[in-house]
């Protein structure tokens, strides 16, 4: 009976996590370059069940199999499928067709150290130092460091990420890709951090100027996921209450006899 309560409780906790994950995806449905999160679920805990005081078993090993105590979220991974393209005709709005990431530099406000991150959000602008930056102020990196533009002049960025101003090559965007994207970790601000073991591979996508990549969140699918999580939570809740009431009767009524 106690085992059943544990199983129902773990199911409630699991579906609460799935609900939070789905709500976060829905909240970022309009976030440029956002990649939806997916939860990988595994068996929470397995226990070997044995026969106790089995007088009829001649086997030394009296195990009868494994018994699970429910499920839990093992890890959260990002879905890197392509989002929809949004045409803006702004010269500093960029989107990547295919696989790959822009490289940006974020300065830690506490230590003052610069850290390299990666993003699919190509909504860029220019700061007071004429540096190409994200809307959050993170500097966009090129092959020669931060991309610095002149105060005036038409800007053109080709499919390989070469930045031209008035026909003169300024720099090439540092565009990268990774062999195992499951090792990328979200760190906030629509940025990804790379695991030290992840191998960097050549960029094979194309850069589109005047476009932004929307999120890859499907609102209908996320609402279906939310309803499924809610129904599963309610089912586990009812099972929990039923077992609790049965256990209460066993203690208060049967034990008196």
Q: What is the pLDDT of residues 74-126, one digit of tens each?
A: 889 999 999 999 999 999 999 999 999 999 999 887 787 889 999 999 999 99
What distance in Å separates the CA atoms of residue 100 and residue 52, rounded to the nearest whole number?
58
What per-residue confidence (pLDDT) applies to 232? 94
Residue ranges, the chain, pLDDT below 70: 1, 44-68, 254-257
What pLDDT is attached to residue 66? 66
Query: Phi-psi bin for 136: left (phi > 0), alpha (psi -120 to 50), beta?
Result: alpha
Helix (H) or strand (E) holding 9: helix 2-27
Give the number of other Cβ atoms within 10 Å of residue 52's Cβ: 6
At residue 143, the pLDDT reads 94
CA–CA gap between residue 8 and residue 246 (Å, rounded): 14
Burial degree of 172 (CB within 10 A; 0-12, 13-18, 19+): middle
pLDDT at position 19, please? 95
Dist CA 212 CA 121 (whole Å): 7
């Amino acid at each position: 009976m106690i085992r059943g309560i544990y199983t129902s409780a773990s199911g409630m906790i699991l579906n609460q996590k799935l609900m939070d994950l789905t709500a976060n995806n829905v909240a970022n449905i309009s976030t440029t370059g956002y990649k939806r999160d997916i939860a990988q679920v595994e068996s929470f805990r397995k226990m070997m069940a044995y026969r106790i005081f089995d007088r009829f078993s001649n086997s030394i090993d009296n195990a009868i199999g494994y018994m699970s105590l429910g499920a839990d979220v093992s890890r959260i991974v990002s879905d890197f499928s392509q989002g929809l393209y949004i045409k803006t005709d702004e010269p500093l709005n960029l989107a990547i067709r295919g696989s790959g990431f822009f490289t940006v530099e974020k300065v830690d406000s506490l230590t003052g150290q610069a850290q390299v991150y990666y993003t699919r959000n190509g909504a860029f602008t220019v700061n007071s130092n004429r540096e190409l930056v994200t809307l959050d102020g993170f500097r966009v990196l090129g092959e020669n460091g931060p991309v610095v533009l002149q105060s005036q002049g038409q800007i053109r960025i080709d499919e390989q990420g070469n930045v031209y101003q008035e026909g003169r090559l300024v720099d090439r965007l540092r565009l990268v890709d990774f062999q195992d994207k499951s090792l990328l970790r979200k760190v906030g601000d629509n940025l990804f951090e790379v695991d030290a073991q992840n191998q960097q591979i050549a960029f094979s996508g194309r850069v589109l100027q005047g476009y932004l990549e929307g999120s890859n969140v499907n609102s209908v699918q996320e609402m279906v996921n939310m309803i499924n999580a809610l129904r599963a939570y309610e089912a586990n809740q009812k099972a929990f209450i039923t077992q609790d009431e049965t256990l209460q009767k066993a203690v208060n009524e049967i034990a008196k006899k």
